[in-house]
Structure 1
């Protein structure tokens, strides 16, 4: 084992960060070439979208007279979305271009915790062998929660650990959940740093070289990393989340507010001890543990590279279950442990945590956009009074294009499409999560399934109904096409193409889900263009 770090090296006095400790700034960055245009692109886009969006909303406000409740609700959803875009643009515009995180040389003792809860033994074995192969002196522990969770294969995991010569902690009592599983092992180990790995994530050999050296900075309590999954070329479900890992997390890192995404997080033992270990307050441990560490005065670092590659949800049903759970965590923090009342946080840390929680609430409003075409074309409800198609397009398109470009600036064009599609798809999930949090307070703990789940889920019913309503809109317009209906037609087609992608992921084979994407989009585009041409020719 490596030599123990001195007391000064741990950066803790009585388990708290030293007030005089240097912060993890320029000494933990690598400078890379960045032109002036690159540096100005983010702030320029942010300013442009703020101005264009304000002009659009001011124009829209003039057409609300006589639109009734539906029109005003729709406008409220637009205002909420605009404010969220502004908030996101302001934070991401503060990212420092030309600086990339790089850790100093690793130091200190390291334990690797591999959490297991019913995953197949062959998947776990691959994970354990990769963890054992990390080329830095460390100890690998198996945290087997299969017995307490009543999973059939918990004995297989015990036998696997014994065969590999690893210590295995198999709980027989205590609270359920990943956080309790981690705390059980935390109390029985003693390394200065702890790396958490999910049971299906293959660690890279140089994991310690990439992240352990950040703990040389005494104020750093934990290090978050980018999540990498084995996804297909199209990544229909947006598991890669480029906007999160290329923009949101770097923006948080600027303010020492990066939050753990569970897997691949490195913790300083002294930091965890100062807050009583991994938080068992929420469904999973990552968000609220980060929150408590930040409130305790510890800084975080975001390392913009993965330290492992894992298995992502393959079907829409698995994905919906995962995202619902994440939303419940964020909403529960917002409602019952609000950042505005949390002592110890900096102003920017409060802003970032509020952005996370409020973001789920605002995303619920996306359902109004899905309802827009059916309400106007099928229900005959006015969402804007006295507005011509030309006038609408002149005001709306620049705003929509600018908002898309902000996402594309960080996530790329394909990533922007996936990000917007997943936001629309997730809107009903977030609304349901909000209701469940309000009614139940604290839901049961859970983990993302690594074994097959039913290919359909009740959680997908709202998305299926929205898709059916959009199809009905296209059909109704097609039966009696008029030029006045073109905006609703194009709108319905674009929204349908967005949510149809994730909704079509019913096979556990990503290649099959990818093969149907082009036919789906081609069919929708052909129908919309054909109907639009008919309306123009007959109008």
Structure 2
């Protein structure tokens, strides 16, 4: 963003805030229709939320950072390229692996196959790249989806830098050369590049081109020191993510030890009270054990090393058993052994103790970046398309993908809210908050759909004000918000499509918010849905996937007819009805994007892959297929 452009954005941002505050002051102060609060209050809350999102957007754009060209990559850096896969087809993964293998900068390439497929193992050997899958230690244990796959691979590799690519994200040869130079700054934890999709029609009916996010928004977050890690097309410093894993493990272990010491004290006090009547000779043993426990509690409060606390407690309890005047009974010894065992908090029932990438959310990328920033590491957004991927080709797959993103973000919002996370600057907190709260838009959209329907069908107006006065207050703020959005996003395509999808996906956002809240607050499990890389369904229009939006359109249409009839017969005011019909028209324009999405049948034939599969890929696939055929047992011949 040029200096002149940035000045224009900042002027608009100030105007949006000023006119927005005037509007909200007027709305809350004198226009809430308390007799019909059930529609009036939700509407003014929704408006307050929407203005808040506009302010967060303005703040993001306020400090947009246009980075100069990165320094050249220093020779001799140790780099591992990870290609994550679970159930994607062999041809897709091999195309990415071959292009990753052929990157210009020296590196090692690994296929991380969470599906543990023999043909993938043979194919990896054929193209001379590494192959990593999970070992038996993962059997019967939580796997943590993609984050667990990467964390597992970190223990089998040694590169100082880790480039992560999804199975369908094919890199250009210069990918590493263009980003490794940023790591000359030893505080940089990761560099993120845009996610770009080649299989998208120019009209982008599914809203896959996130050009506003992978552009102005990421540049804005970068300006505030909060560029996001987005799970693919990024390079991370191993030291940073391993430090994060160790810090989180240590913090968790310290909390577990505090709880274990508390439970151990109550356990010994309970045993002491029971033995006071049955076997008082054992009380000196328990007194000595409680004294050792008191020492351990004091060491924990003063921040002693956890292993030292466990060792000293074990020695103290052993002395209580062996050095006392009375011989401890087997029952007492068993109880004391159990206490010692419970304090060994470094033990874990997971396959690996330290998880470098965050495993607390299905959006491991956002959570990892947030905690890295909280630790003081910095990040870089490099605004250059260096990797070409595949976008969903049908509406159902798109909705599944968006729900996973939103659910994981809301899981972090409710579980590890950035406003409460120590270590983040205030600006960084707001940058994370802006992304997370954007998914609450589903509830606001529901209100914006319900309010005009209520008025047109019942005559209940959701605000107590003259329609003309409302326009005078509302129009400047609304137009300024739209102008800010367009000016700040200048040069980014798909701005209108982005607005449509943000509104039209309201059922997905509501479901995701509820799922994320349930996962964080109630411990409900959130499944990680791998985005299908091939078109789902029979190729026809999929209207069942968008039935809530179709129902909303039908209700708006019926309400409009009723409202027109009521206005024509004098039962409803003409100006208020006219303004509400304009409101309905905007709702129609926003929701209509989903009809086009449901009818989408994939990219047109004239769209070509910029990094297509080569002859080597076809040869390796044929080789693996022939090996599979030879390995299959012969079918029995039916008797005559």
**Which bin holds the TM-score, normalised by the shorter protein?**
0.7 to 0.9
CA contact (8 A) 2:395 2:600 kept: no
Query: Secondary structure at the residue paired with 1:275?
Result: helix
User: Deviation of residue 386 (structure 1)?
Assistant: 4.1
User: Deviation of residue 461 (structure 1)?
Assistant: 3.6
Instruction: Tell me: CA distance 1:474–1:123, structure 2 relative to 1, closer, same or farther (3 Å).
Output: farther
| Pairing 1:288–2:374 present | no
Instruction: Tell me: CA distance 1:93–1:135, structure 2 relative to 1, closer, same or farther (3 Å).
Output: same
| Pairing 1:471–2:549 present | no
| Pairing 1:407–2:485 present | yes
User: Deviation of residue 113 (structure 1)?
Assistant: 0.6
| Pairing 1:159–2:122 present | yes
For 1:415-438, what per-residue CA distance to the aligned partner results, in whole angstroms no more than 9, with x for missing partners? 331221111023322221121223
**Matched residue, 2:81:** 112
User: Deviation of residue 179 (structure 1)?
Assistant: 0.6
Which runs of structure 2 are paired with 1:31-46 in the superposition (5 Å)? Answer: 34=2, 37-46=4-13
Instruction: Tell me: CA distance 1:510–1:452, structure 2 relative to 1, closer, same or farther (3 Å).
Output: closer
Question: In angstroms, what is the RMSD of aligned CA positions?
Answer: 2.3
Aligned residue among 421, 442, 447 for 1:342: 421
**Matched residue, 1:532:** none
User: Deviation of residue 76 (structure 1)?
Assistant: 1.0
CA contact (8 A) 2:228 2:366 kept: yes
User: Deviation of residue 505 (structure 1)?
Assistant: 1.4
CA contact (8 A) 1:243 1:407 kept: no
| Pairing 1:451–2:534 present | yes
5+ residue gaps, structure 2, are 246-355, 569-573, 605-640
| Pairing 1:184–2:147 present | no
User: Deviation of residue 308 (structure 1)?
Assistant: 0.5
User: Equivalents in 1 of 2:10, 2:97: separation in Å?
Assistant: 44
Instruction: Tell me: CA distance 1:508–1:458, structure 2 relative to 1, closer, same or farther (3 Å).
Output: closer
5+ residue gaps, structure 1, are 1-31, 148-153, 513-539
Instruction: Tell me: CA distance 1:504–1:308, structure 2 relative to 1, closer, same or farther (3 Å).
Output: same
User: Deviation of residue 481 (structure 1)?
Assistant: 5.7
Moved more, 436-445 or 115-124: 436-445
Instruction: Tell me: CA distance 1:68–1:508, structure 2 relative to 1, closer, same or farther (3 Å).
Output: closer
Query: Secondary structure at the residue paired with 1:375?
Result: helix
CA contact (8 A) 1:324 1:429 kept: yes
User: Deviation of residue 176 (structure 1)?
Assistant: 4.5
User: Equivalents in 2 of 1:157, 1:475: separation in Å?
Assistant: 59
Instruction: Tell me: CA distance 1:344–1:322, structure 2 relative to 1, closer, same or farther (3 Å).
Output: same
**Matched residue, 2:104:** 135
User: Deviation of residue 326 (structure 1)?
Assistant: 1.2
| Pairing 1:396–2:474 present | yes
User: Deviation of residue 508 (structure 1)?
Assistant: 5.4
User: Equivalents in 1 of 2:19, 2:242: separation in Å?
Assistant: 49
**Matched residue, 2:412:** 333
User: Equivalents in 1 of 2:566, 2:552: separation in Å?
Assistant: 22
Instruction: Tell me: CA distance 1:509–1:251, structure 2 relative to 1, closer, same or farther (3 Å).
Output: same
Instruction: Tell me: CA distance 1:408–1:262, structure 2 relative to 1, closer, same or farther (3 Å).
Output: same
Larger Rg: 2
For 1:201-229, what per-residue CA distance to the aligned partner results, in whole angstroms no more than 9, with x for missing partners? 11111101211111110000111111111
Query: Secondary structure at the residue paired with 1:100?
Result: coil
User: Deviation of residue 509 (structure 1)?
Assistant: 2.7
CA contact (8 A) 1:123 1:199 kept: yes
Moved more, 123-132 or 185-194: 123-132
User: Equivalents in 1 of 2:60, 2:144: separation in Å?
Assistant: 36
| Pairing 1:63–2:8 present | no
User: Deviation of residue 456 (structure 1)?
Assistant: 4.6
**Matched residue, 1:14:** none
**Matched residue, 2:290:** none
**Matched residue, 2:518:** 439
User: Equivalents in 2 of 1:287, 1:142: separation in Å?
Assistant: 23
**Matched residue, 1:50:** 17
User: Deviation of residue 200 (structure 1)?
Assistant: 0.7
User: Deviation of residue 263 (structure 1)?
Assistant: 1.0
User: Deviation of residue 402 (structure 1)?
Assistant: 1.3
Aligned residue among 239, 242, 257 for 2:208: 239
| Pairing 1:273–2:351 present | no
User: Equivalents in 2 of 1:136, 1:160: separation in Å?
Assistant: 23
For 1:243-276, what per-residue CA distance to the aligned partner results, in whole angstroms no more than 9, with x for missing partners? 2122221121112211111110110011111112
| Pairing 1:126–2:95 present | yes
Aligned residue among 569, 573, 578 for 1:486: 578
Query: Secondary structure at the residue paired with 2:131?
Result: strand
User: Equivalents in 1 of 2:122, 2:565: separation in Å?
Assistant: 65
User: Equivalents in 1 of 2:454, 2:192: separation in Å?
Assistant: 44
User: Equivalents in 2 of 1:351, 1:157: separation in Å?
Assistant: 43
CA contact (8 A) 1:219 1:299 kept: yes
After TM superposition, the score normalised by the length of structure 1 is 0.82
Aligned residue among 96, 112, 115 for 1:146: 115
Instruction: Tell me: CA distance 1:284–1:63, structure 2 relative to 1, closer, same or farther (3 Å).
Output: closer
**Matched residue, 1:264:** 233
Query: Secondary structure at the residue paired with 2:554?
Result: helix
For 1:106-164, what per-residue CA distance to the aligned partner results, in whole angstroms no more than 9, with x for missing partners? 131211111111112222222122212211111111011124xxxxxx34433332321
User: Equivalents in 2 of 1:260, 1:290: separation in Å?
Assistant: 6
CA contact (8 A) 1:275 1:292 kept: yes
Query: Secondary structure at the residue paired with 2:476?
Result: helix
User: Deviation of residue 352 (structure 1)?
Assistant: 1.6
User: Equivalents in 2 of 1:510, 1:451: separation in Å?
Assistant: 10
User: Deviation of residue 47 (structure 1)?
Assistant: 1.0
Instruction: Tell me: CA distance 1:192–1:322, structure 2 relative to 1, closer, same or farther (3 Å).
Output: same
**Matched residue, 2:589:** 497
**Matched residue, 1:370:** 449
CA contact (8 A) 1:119 1:451 kept: no
